[in-house]
Structure 1
Amino acid sequence: MRGMVLRPLAGAALLLPGPAFAAGVPGEQLSLAWGIPFVGILLSIALMPLVAAHLWHHHYGKIAALWAALFVLPFAVAFGPDAAWYELTHVMVLEYVPFIALLLALYTAGGGVLLKGSLVGTPTVNTALLAVGTILASMMGTTGAAMLLIRPVLRANAFRTRKTHTFVFFIFLVANIGGSLTPVGDPPLYLGFLRGVSFFWPTTHLFAEFLTCVVILLAIYWLLDTLAWNREKPVAPVAAKEPLGIEGWLNVWLVLAIVAVVIGMGYVKLEEVTILGQPMALERVLGIVLFLAITGVSVAFTSTALREANGFAWGAILEVAKLFAAIFICMAPVLAILRAGSAGDAAGLVALTSGPDGAPIPWVYFWLTGLLSSFLDNAPTYIVFFELAGGDPATLMGQGALTLAAISCGAVFMGANSYIGNAPNFMVKAIVEENGNRMPSFFAYCGWAVVFLVPLFVLVSLIFFRPA
């Protein structure tokens, strides 16, 4: 999603949306009222941990299912059971199952890699860890890099009390902005790759924007962490110095195998098969099977002692699986309305993307793609604006390069604006809390984004996508 956790290779790297409600109800026939369940689940995620924490933590799966039902059941009444069944199977078969299979594989394999050694969470060490994670994100995906490094960051800072900012900036950099240089890095870029955008186009066309954000955020983080260190004056644990090393090399190779499978699905084209009435490319089916097989290998051949030493637990991925199933279902009509363009109820937003002469306005594409990617899944949001900009990869990579760069940066960068903007965001939050550390509430995290990210994105739009 965006909108979330996991927006990963991160989030829904295999999500390849087809035409909205292609065999069901066209987006042009849907009113914005169909977005109420989506707003409802977002508000539940944001508010219930604050006002009804006990109820939420024990029943969040049931609450999420209730919001999904509040979309599916009225939809069945309004448009018929067949249309509702189509929408449910379309989301679950083509979007959710590939999404969660990829996340499960990355979560399991990444949690089986133990970075050993004497890591003490000083400002310099923490900044270096964030920088390394940011670079790795474009090589192994935001989800892969986040799952690999979040536990070493937790262990390095276990002796500190002022450390919330470290996990917030980890989400900003490793779980989002770091994935902007290759199609492997983040799902929107992977979908662009599947549609014909060259593999290294993001590397050459988004590098300046990437570098600007990374340098500024790392500098701000180092200053914040230095201030926190000086105020806290923590006493680092005294222990025998252990050289840095990696345990669990099998899982390192499994992570690389996951990346290879994702890349392979961009090049290998096979026939379609039908699953629950939904046509799915055979290479995507094989990809899901391989992700599940990799998960099984990791579980079978990784020792319990290693996972315990890594602080690994299944709670985070279970929470993501339950919440995102409902999020994907509830956001379907919202994305359909957006895809309807000028014929849908979101026509006012769509009209903002072009000037009086019909020419695209890059900074508007940057902000609309980004703001919607903050709360909707960023992969389909990218595709919506990719199509609005013409949908021809050759043209967009050429004379439309500035517009494509704006769409790409908006989708990848602004997934960091909320916990649900990208799947790894939510996973990092869950893992940090699972290890006994506090994270900001939904709105408090958005407040961090408003303070540190929004001004940065204003600067990016003025430098790179400024109005003519």
Structure 2
Amino acid sequence: MLSVRLKRRGASLQIRWLARCAGGLIAAILVLLPQPVWAAAALDGAAMGWPYALPFAGLLLSIALGPLLAPKFWHHHYGKIAAVWSLLALGALVWLAGGMAMLAALVQALLAEYLGFIVLLFALYVVAGGILVSGDIRGTPWANTGIMALGTLMASVVGTTGAAMILIRPLIRANRSRRHNAHVVVFFIILVANVGGALSPLGDPPLFVGFLHGVDFFWTTRNIWLQTAIVAGLLLAIFSVVDAWRFRSEPRSGAAGPGEPIRIRGLVNLALIAAIVASLLGSAMWKPGIAFDVFGTRMELESLVRNVVLLVIAALSVWLTPDEHREANGFTWEPIREVAKLFAGIFVAIIPVIAMLDAGHHGAFAWLLSAVTAPDGTPREAAYFWFTGLMSAFLDNAPTYLLFFELAGGDPQVLMGPLAGTLASISMGAVYMGALTYIGNAPNFMVSSIANENGIEMPSFFGYLLRAGAVLIPLFLLLTLLPVAPILHWH
């Protein structure tokens, strides 16, 4: 009983710590009134060369090679390693543009981009972790395919993070006795943590970014449902064949008696997930016109309120969910802690890269703008699909989506009208190809971390990249060569 109390106290301390951090940030925003001097301090991406991208490349290589070459050292010090690369990136910005411009860029990255990202992931992780799916599920190809299909359908409703956190632990338990089970988690990451979230802004962060910038809520549902259905259907078919082949080599167990029926506990968390969805929709529709300026970063009141509401929902989940449900789920704080630290490093180290990309024809990545634009000025839709996708695999897919959204003009009415094929290409690239690496989408890292905690030997960074690429690249080539809807006219 004492250990249960201590566990609940530890979880409550985590929530209170995050709430204090959010409160401190909000207090700072309320105290720091508009200061034009900070707004004037901007980075000049055109003045940067490729060496400014080295800290970001170093961080990616560390994430890829650290767990492979020095797993114990990496596990204990990954936060410090990410911090070192971030400080190198910030130091380079100070040397180039001065401390004020660096601080303004840092505040923009952390408050305008990272804060909302991690608070939403944290809330979904905590709430979904309180939903316990119990009962005897045997990891047969049919059962596994059914769970994959269910998660793929759920992802656009409760988000890729929510669907992944609800189903990954039951899937792991169902396949615990199998010798070959890593491929099940790999396909789960591809389908549930990525492709399934392509049909609504609630599904994946890039589409929510588009919604906040004026894209209609059901636009992707109407315009890329067929492509998503084809990609998801082919992936499910491929998985069922692979899983059936691996299942044949498993030792046959004796006939099993009637098992425990499947039950869903912690149902209060389903209501809390609905509250998360409502808070996201409310923040997008409620526009009070009140904002605070923090070192040149405009913080809208609705975004601040949304973040506080999400933290309150997470706290309610911890308070209302019996501890034994999380214990049965094998719930720990380490996966979200790892995501928070590593993605904080990514959001900081990527600042120079984003500045160079924003410089367009005047920056080090001018070739990228030329690659996605035809000589007559029209966008190359296939190029937008591939460049958005491949960059989403190695950068965070939400800022990558926004980058190409702005590169295509940034006018939602034009992008939903005459340039609808371009917007569809950007949306599909950001969502689908986030599955190519562990860092393409935050749930990928969480699922991999949970699988490792439960004794599944997941592939290394490059091992996963090879496996996911072998499955996905042929499908993306098929999608490129054989357009399946009149909205797409590949050039």
TM-score normalised according to structure 2 size: 0.89
Distance 2:275 2:252 in 1: 40
Of 444, 454, 458, the match for 1:435: 454
Q: Indicate if the aligned counterparts of 2:52 and 2:92 stay in contact, CA closer than 8 A.
A: no
Which residue pairs with 1:8 in the alignment? none
User: 1:98, CA displacement in angstroms?
Assistant: 1.3
Of 110, 118, 141, the match for 1:123: 141
Which residue pairs with 1:64 in the alignment? 82
Which residue pairs with 2:329 in the alignment? 310
Backbone CA RMSD of aligned residues: 1.5
Distance 2:349 2:245 in 1: 42
Distance 2:134 2:377 in 1: 56
Within 5 Å, which residues of 2 pair with 1:67-146?
67-146=85-164
The residue type paired with residue 426 of structure 2 is: I
Distance 1:412 1:104 in 2: 20
| CA distance 1:78–1:115, change in 2 (3 Å) | same
Q: Is 1:354 aligned to 2:401, yes or no?
A: no
Which residue pairs with 2:435 in the alignment? 416
Q: Is 1:392 aligned to 2:421, yes or no?
A: no
Of 367, 371, 378, the match for 2:390: 371
Distance 2:60 2:385 in 1: 23
Deviates more, 1:238-247 or 1:121-130: 238-247
| CA distance 1:22–1:335, change in 2 (3 Å) | farther
Distance 1:160 1:442 in 2: 23
More relative contact order, 1 or 2 (CA 8 Å, 6+ apart): 1
Which residue pairs with 1:51 in the alignment? 69
Distance 1:187 1:279 in 2: 20
The residue type paired with residue 147 of structure 2 is: L
Distance 1:390 1:275 in 2: 27
Q: Is 1:326 aligned to 2:359, yes or no?
A: no
Distance 1:77 1:358 in 2: 37
Distance 1:248 1:97 in 2: 28
Q: Is 1:297 aligned to 2:316, yes or no?
A: yes
5+ residue gaps in structure 1? 1-20
User: 1:389, CA displacement in angstroms?
Assistant: 1.5
Distance 1:297 1:285 in 2: 19
Distance 1:244 1:126 in 2: 15
* Seq. identity, %: 49
The residue type paired with residue 234 of structure 2 is: I
User: 1:115, CA displacement in angstroms?
Assistant: 1.0
Which residue pairs with 2:33 in the alignment? none
The residue type paired with residue 249 of structure 1 is: L
Distance 1:143 1:191 in 2: 16
Q: Indicate if the aligned counterparts of 1:159 and 1:237 stay in contact, CA closer than 8 A.
A: no
| CA distance 1:355–1:463, change in 2 (3 Å) | same
Distance 1:289 1:237 in 2: 52
Q: Is 1:220 aligned to 2:238, yes or no?
A: yes
User: 1:69, CA displacement in angstroms?
Assistant: 0.8
| CA distance 1:400–1:234, change in 2 (3 Å) | farther
Q: 2:350 aligns to what SS in structure 1? A: helix
User: 1:143, CA displacement in angstroms?
Assistant: 0.7
Distance 2:375 2:405 in 1: 20
Q: 1:260 aligns to what SS in structure 2? A: helix
Distance 1:236 1:317 in 2: 39
Higher helix share: 2
| CA distance 1:236–1:171, change in 2 (3 Å) | farther
Within 5 Å, which residues of 2 pair with 1:166-315?
166-235=184-253, 238=256, 240-270=258-288, 271-275=290-294, 278-315=297-334
The residue type paired with residue 44 of structure 1 is: S
| CA distance 1:424–1:356, change in 2 (3 Å) | same
* Equivalent pairs, count: 448
Distance 1:326 1:238 in 2: 49
Distance 1:99 1:329 in 2: 14
Distance 1:240 1:273 in 2: 60
Which residue pairs with 1:345 in the alignment? 364
User: 1:277, CA displacement in angstroms?
Assistant: 5.6
Q: Deviations 1:57-101 (Å, cap 9, x if unpaired)?
A: 111111111111111123223321112211222111111121111
User: 1:236, CA displacement in angstroms?
Assistant: 7.4
Q: Deviations 1:122-168 (Å, cap 9, x if unpaired)?
A: 00000000000000000011111111111111111111111111100
Q: Deviations 1:207-231 (Å, cap 9, x if unpaired)?
A: 1110111111000000000001101
| CA distance 1:253–1:331, change in 2 (3 Å) | same
The residue type paired with residue 437 of structure 2 is: S
Q: Is 1:463 aligned to 2:453, yes or no?
A: no
Q: 1:141 aligns to what SS in structure 2? A: helix
5+ residue gaps in structure 2? 1-38
| CA distance 1:287–1:117, change in 2 (3 Å) | same
Which residue pairs with 2:165 in the alignment? 147
Q: 1:402 aligns to what SS in structure 2? A: helix
The residue type paired with residue 287 of structure 2 is: K
Q: Indicate if the aligned counterparts of 2:155 and 2:203 stay in contact, CA closer than 8 A.
A: yes
User: 1:240, CA displacement in angstroms?
Assistant: 4.2
The residue type paired with residue 137 of structure 2 is: L
Distance 1:234 1:146 in 2: 29
Distance 1:183 1:264 in 2: 13
User: 1:237, CA displacement in angstroms?
Assistant: 8.7
User: 1:241, CA displacement in angstroms?
Assistant: 2.2
Distance 1:272 1:130 in 2: 42
